[in-house]
Structures are given as C-alpha cells and as structure tokens.
Structure 1
C-alpha cells in the first residue's frame, strides 16, 4: 500500500500547476507571485525530486529558498512536517 501512496504523491507533484500552487499558498498563508509559482512548477517537472528521499527534499527546499526566500522555504518545510505527522505518514518519509 505504501508504494501506491508514494506513487500518487510523486504523480501529484509532477502535475502541479502554477494556479494550484497559488491556491495552496493562499490557503496556507504563503505569499508568492505567479512567476515564483511557475518557477516552482518548472523545477518540479525538470528535477522530479523524490519527496521520500531526504537529499531530494533538502535540495528542493534550497531551491524553494532561492525562488522565494529562506523564510518561505522554512515555513513550507514546517507545513510539510505538520501534514506528514497529521496523516500519520512519518514511516513513509
């Protein structure tokens, strides 16, 4: 079952759109521009980071800090950690 869940999450990351990122940023209190959302999508599609691999997550967070700013990247990391914990998925990460 965990393989299926992992593949669903990876697939969702590859298919995110700038509009979805802007929607989620507003929903979770992040302030980003359309250009930044497009850069994030471009990075995700070009790099296909594995969210279940610590090195890939670290690399993505550094790139997110470059695209936005370190404060936004830190808040995104905190949100990701909270979501993982709230769904009881720590064992996957």
Structure 2
C-alpha cells in the first residue's frame, strides 16, 4: 500500500471533528448522537488505528459498538466495505 495514502487515512481518523463525523453519519444514514460523536472523535485522537489492518479495524468496531450499539457498528463496517469496493481500493485492505 502506498504509505502516503495510508498516512492520510490515519491522520484523518485522528483529526476528525464531531461536527464532520455527524455530517458523514447523516449522509450515510447512521444514527449517532452529538455526545457519541464527541466520544468517538476523542477516542480516535487517543488511539492510532490503521484501518488497513484487520486487527485495528476490529478494535475500532468493538469500541464503536461500546459507544453506540452493535447495529451501528455493523452498519459502519458494511459502509466501509461498500466504500472500499466503490473506490476500487480492495487491494489496500
């Protein structure tokens, strides 16, 4: 995988703001509250997840399920898989 693209993804995760996260959630019809968005963003800032690693994605989804619920975490995983295919970057994951 291109290390530059990987670095951009990781940086985006660490710097996302709750308001932006809420915009994405609304766009993709994923129900999260403002408080949950704040908790999620704070968690992402504190942890350096690499979304290209299965173990890191699994850890992120488990934490998301704790913050929200299992249905939301499953929906996010489905969306993630859909976007990977949509943008033709399957080989990166």
TM-score range relative to shorter protein: over 0.9
- The CA deviation at 1:47 is 1.1
Residue segments in structure 1 that go unaligned for 5+ positions in a row: none
Q: String of CA shifts for 1:45-72, please: whole Å, max 9, x gaps.
A: 1111111111010000000000000000
Calculate the TM-score normalised by the size of structure 1. 0.95
Residue segments in structure 2 that go unaligned for 5+ positions in a row: none
Superposed CA RMSD in Å reads 1.0
Is 1:25 aligned with 2:55? no
Matching residue of 1:13: 13
Q: How does 1:27-42 map to 2 (within 5 A)?
A: 27-42=27-42
What is the count of residue pairs matched by the alignment? 93
- Higher relative CO (Cα under 8 Å, sequence separation at least 6) belongs to 2
